[in-house]
Amino acid sequence: MERVSEMRDGNKAILVLEDGTSYTGRALGARGRVFGEVVFNTSMTGYQEILTDPSYRGEIVVMTYPLIGNYGINPEDVESAHPHARGFVVKQMCDEPSNWRAKDRLEQLLTDHGIIGIEGVDTRAITRRLREHGTMRGVIAVGDDLDEKALLQQAREAPDLSNQDLIEQVSAKEPYLFAEGNGGPKITVVDFGAKMNIMRSLAERGCRVTVVPARSSVTEVMQTEPDGVLLSNGPGDPKTATQSIEMVQSLVREAPVFGICLGHQILARALGAETFRMKYGHRGANHPVKDVRTGRVYITAQNHGFAVQEESWSDPDVVVSHRNVNDQTIEGLMHKALPVSSVQYHPEASPGPRDSGYLFDDFLDRLTTRA
């Protein structure tokens, strides 16, 4: 690519995967080096929402779409106060964005928040590598005299995602009121790394929205006097959320519960199911999901590297409500006796299609019916 061939001193960057493969390109954003789990996202748009999604904590994100940054950055399309992705990998970064909402360039966002990136690499080759061999740890480093053997060693010694308490890094530290509400139900969101659009989606439906930290006890959750509780998305391995799993085991007997993404996995484990690490996960805005009760298929936004293990629970009242059309993994659960349900994907979208926004309405309708 032309811009890579014209690299200036200090602008060389390299991505090294733990299997020994490496990719050389041009540095983007901050300088230095960073390690993390390397994953790919197939979305054509939504790079700002992806970078600011707390679920990407600890991960280096490879964008499969070749041109990134063409509509710039704006203050509205954020999912948290700052980016959480550890690194960013693109084929080509747009230097001159064109959109009436744009306030800044993507590379400036990376620089301002210390995110190390690389462009000019074959993101298709990286993606195929991850699909064939599974998600790997990797290192991005910037500089002219880079020791690939040393970088490979760092990649192999990087902490595994399952050995990090990522939820604690992104969860709210104190409870707070997100929206006063407009006559709708009182919803408490347990923040495992919640995307802003989850709370926005509830507020738009007139809900009073209270957010509580991930480490809240069931007593602290119920002190907010919720009509319903939403378990949010978040980063990392659900197995590490032992305190939250125990809390949800009690919570399902106290209030209606709806889980999203990591919240779905934590709820599943609370109901007796097991979870497993997927080979390369689901990350993108084009994943087909079938509602097994109706036969209807929805195109969904997803971001997860773990899933619920098939038939790993013994409770006959726990049933599968949704499945991924591509690989048949579980995308939704519901309880036949308790007002409890969950989905693995993101009904709030951002980025992604809004096909599944009705799930918020269904959750709120159940609260009204129950009352």
* Residue 264 annotated in active site: no
Catalytic position from the list 49, 79, 331, 348: 348
Give dist(CA 290, CA 282) in Å, integer.
Answer: 15
Q: Are strands 340-343 and 330-335 parallel, antiparallel or unpaired?
A: antiparallel
Which of 244, 37, 208 is closest to 139 using CA atoms? 37
Give dist(CA 354, CA 197) in Å, integer.
Answer: 12
Catalytic position from the list 49, 119, 261, 331: 261
Amino acid at residue number 18: E
- Residues with Cβ within 8 Å of 208's Cβ and at least 6 positions away in sequence, in order, are 177, 179, 180, 181, 184, 185, 186, 187
Catalytic position from the list 84, 287, 322, 346: 346
Give dist(CA 322, CA 297) in Å, integer.
Answer: 9
- Residues with Cβ within 8 Å of 121's Cβ and at least 6 positions away in sequence, in order, are 15, 23, 24, 25, 89, 91
* Residue 261 annotated in active site: yes
Catalytic positions, please? 261, 346, 348
